[in-house]
Chains A and B, each alone.
Chain A
Amino acid sequence: MSLKVPTMAEMTAQGETPDVLFWVGCAGSFDDRAKKITKALVKILNHCNVKFAVLGTEESCSGDPAKRAGNEFTFQMQAMMNIQVLNGYSVNKIVTACPHCFNTLKNEYPELGGNYEVIHHTQLIQDLINTGKLALENGGVYKGKKITFHDPCYLGRANDVYDAPRELIEKLDAELVEMKRCKSNGLCCGAGGAQMFKEAEKGNKEVNIERTEDAFETNSEIIATGCPFCNTMMTDGVKNFNKEAFVQVLDVAELIANAAEL
């Protein structure tokens, strides 16, 4: 099935306005693993006939890694340029599959003139299910499977979103097993604060290894998460233990898309 991915420019040319803008983010646009998450979400949006659009080549980095790396100039330049584009299209509502973009757009753009309703993709999918637009018959392929959820820091602690992804996993009729450090006590995957883009400082362990061990303790077959960077870190962690054949790392959007056979 080919994906329908209308851009904001196309829609506007046709005199239409989407209900929601899908902010894809840099990882979702360029990272091979994260692109799969992007596509899973688009499948869901297409399936539910959500009227959405992307900015496409008009989108640029939200500025999150620049800000966390301490370069406020680069951050604000990015923010201002993005806000010009978003306001130019009179965008009201934004959904994104990246908690870093989510946090920045939601919390840091308003003071700079960008006021939008920003939601995480797990919240949007939850809404689609709750309003009956998306149905999962008997949970699908994940029925009865043990799944653990790794809280992305920028979704959980940073923005207090803990329930949406968990409710979705429960919709799969799967067994949600919590790690010993979860929700507000969740351990970081090690990627935040621009760490994704550099080597870690000297220590005795990598953060993602420590976190992967937490996940292994739950004996889950699937580590679910809701962030492209957490996904990379956890995938690397699983590989480090040569367990790829036994434990999968998947985004909640992928779980839902697979379960709904999209």
Chain B
Amino acid sequence: MVSSILFVLLSLIGIGFFTFNILKIRSNIKLGRKIDRTDNPSKRWKTMLLVAFGQKKMFSRPIPALLHFCVYAAFVITQIELIEIFVDGISGNHRVFKETLGGFYTFTISFIEILSVLALLATFAFLSRRNLLKLPRLTMQELAGWPKKDANLILIMEVVLVCCIFMMNGADEALYLKGASHYTAEAGSYGFTISSILGDSFLVNLSIENLHLIERIGWWGHIIMVFSFLNYLPYSKHFHILLAFPNTYYSNLEKKGKFNNMESVTAEVALMLDPTADPYATNSESTAEVLRFGAKDVTDLTWKNLLDAYSCTECGRCTSSCPANITGKKLSPRKIMMDTRDRLTEVGDAMRKHGKDYLDGKSLLGDYITEEEVWACTSCNACVQECPINIDPLSIILDLRRNLVMEESKMPAELAGMLTNIENNGAPWQFSQNDRLNWASED
């Protein structure tokens, strides 16, 4: 009874706090500009199933993909056991599904156990890739400090979680062998693949009292880890395990080369070319609101850009394939995403504290991302291609450029010259438009 109350309390606090944080993040994302990503739902579902659920894009790098898949599969399947823990925790039962599910129960838990061992091995591999092998993309400058700790912390939590599972199942098995299980008074075995070995080898030598203690530590440890993990997510790159799904659903379905045409500009250009045109003829919404051209701060980006930022796993696949980064330039598409997220968190917190119109005098462009980074991009789309959850750093970079050029007239001098040439003579170089066909008569 006491433990049931404790369990319910823990759950309420855990889920309540998580919900609170999720709502905060949701309201942050909603600070972004409008963009419609609701068309073509069947293609969107398909993309989500393939890319998020099926992890299709991960497999362009098979080794990490396989390791990641172990952790991912273990995580997904363990949720089944978690349901039982919930039911047991609230009702005060023990292994409530065993009776009803029978052989399938044994199979499921065994499956979870095998996946947990694989996940454990993968976790050790991940830890060593980060800390011993020091893979370049996992040890770059932008990961110094919190991001590095975050990555290691979650891996350690994973290890603890798996240990709890085996303490729980192993001790329970030993108790069952001794005929002292909570499940039934008769002696027997659950027959779970891994814990039956653990239980039968050394755990069975422990006293019943100690085994009960270990089993309870495992059980409570597990559920406490689950709630800690859940509440840690919103502060961590590991939030991707949830956001990967909506993020891929709302993917850009157009060709990657297509950059959006700014509607506000279309209206003005139409007026310039034809002064008799109706200034309100084009889509009114964007013309009614006075919007900045491009993006100076996170609130100028679209909500999808902001969702991207919260979804980013900081894996660095984008950066390791970025031609600018490969050749030593400051630009790193991963950093673009991390900066966007960090700035958004800052803006959101400030708005909640000081009101919606609060300005802190800072901005994404300038205080987080420098002009040097913005101008180093070749718009090659390698980052977009590589991202395992369809994040688009390029569209942020483009909007930052638009702001620099159209609002601040700040750009490298050669580009200013190039733009003048296009405006004056219809080519990026100083050639007269009248000479455009000269090639046809030259040898």
Contact = CB atoms under 8 A, between A and B. Distances in A.
Interface of A: 3, 5, 7, 24, 26, 28-30, 35, 38-39, 42, 54, 56-57, 59-61, 63, 65-74, 76-78, 80-81, 84, 103, 106-108, 111-112, 153-154, 157-160, 184-185, 187-188, 190-207, 209-211
Contact of A57 (B257, B261, B376, B436): B436
17 contacts: A26-B429, A29-B438, A57-B435, A63-B422, A68-B398, A69-B415, A71-B405, A112-B261, A157-B381, A158-B256, A158-B257, A160-B255, A185-B321, A198-B412, A203-B329, A207-B327, A210-B323
B434 A57 contact: yes
B381 A158 contact: yes
Most B C-beta atoms less than 10 A away, residue of A66, A111, A112: A66
Given A26-B427, A61-B428, 12 more contacts: A26-B428, A61-B422, A66-B422, A70-B403, A193-B377, A193-B380, A198-B418, A200-B327, A201-B372, A205-B328, A207-B326, A207-B327
Contacts of A206: 327
A230 to B, nearest CB: 11
A63 B417 CA distance: 14
B427 A70 contact: no
Interface residues on B, range: 35 or more
A65 B418 contact: yes
B419 A30 contact: no
Nearest to B409: A71
A197 B269 CA distance: 25
Contact of B269 (A73, A108, A160): A73
A84 B255 CA distance: 25
Nearest to B397: A193
Nearest to B379: A193
A180 to B, nearest CB: 12
B381 A199 contact: no
Nearest to A4: B440
B273 interface: yes
Contacts of A157: 256-257, 380-382, 384-385
Contact of B436 (A56, A66, A108, A200): A56
Contacts of B60: 185
Given A108-B259, A158-B257, A65 B440 contact: no
A57 B329 contact: no
B433 A80 contact: no
Given A107-B255, A207-B378, A71 B434 contact: no
A195 to B, nearest CB: 5
Interface in B368-398: 372, 375-382, 384-385, 398
B405 A69 contact: yes
B437 interface: yes
A216 B363 CA distance: 44
B440 A107 contact: no
Contacts of B294: 70
Contacts of A61: 422, 426-428
Contacts of A38: 439
B278 interface: no
B269 A35 contact: no
A191 B379 CA distance: 9
A197 B428 contact: yes
A72 B262 contact: yes
Contacts of A24: 436, 439
A69 B382 CA distance: 18
A74 B421 CA distance: 11
A106 B434 CA distance: 25
Contacts of A198: 375, 412, 414-415, 418
B270 A80 contact: yes
A5 B327 contact: no
Contact of B268 (A3, A73, A78, A84): A73
A30 to B, nearest CB: 5
B412 A199 contact: yes
A193 B308 CA distance: 22
B127 to A, nearest CB: 28
Given A193-B380, A207-B378, A184 B259 contact: no
B99 interface: no
A241 B439 CA distance: 30
B184 interface: no
Given A67-B259, A77-B272, A204-B328, A187 B323 contact: yes
B401 interface: yes
A250 to B, nearest CB: 18
Most A C-beta atoms less than 10 A away, residue of B272, B372, B422: B422
Contacts of A3: 440
Most A C-beta atoms less than 10 A away, residue of B268, B328, B406: B328
Contacts of A80: 269-270, 273
Nearest to A160: B255
B402 interface: yes
Contact of B437 (A57, A84, A111, A205): A57
B358 interface: no
Nearest to B421: A61
A201 B414 CA distance: 13
Contacts of A188: 323, 378, 380, 382
A5 B436 CA distance: 12
A197 B402 CA distance: 17
A60 B327 CA distance: 34
A34 to B, nearest CB: 9
Interface in B271-292: 272-273
B401 A201 contact: no
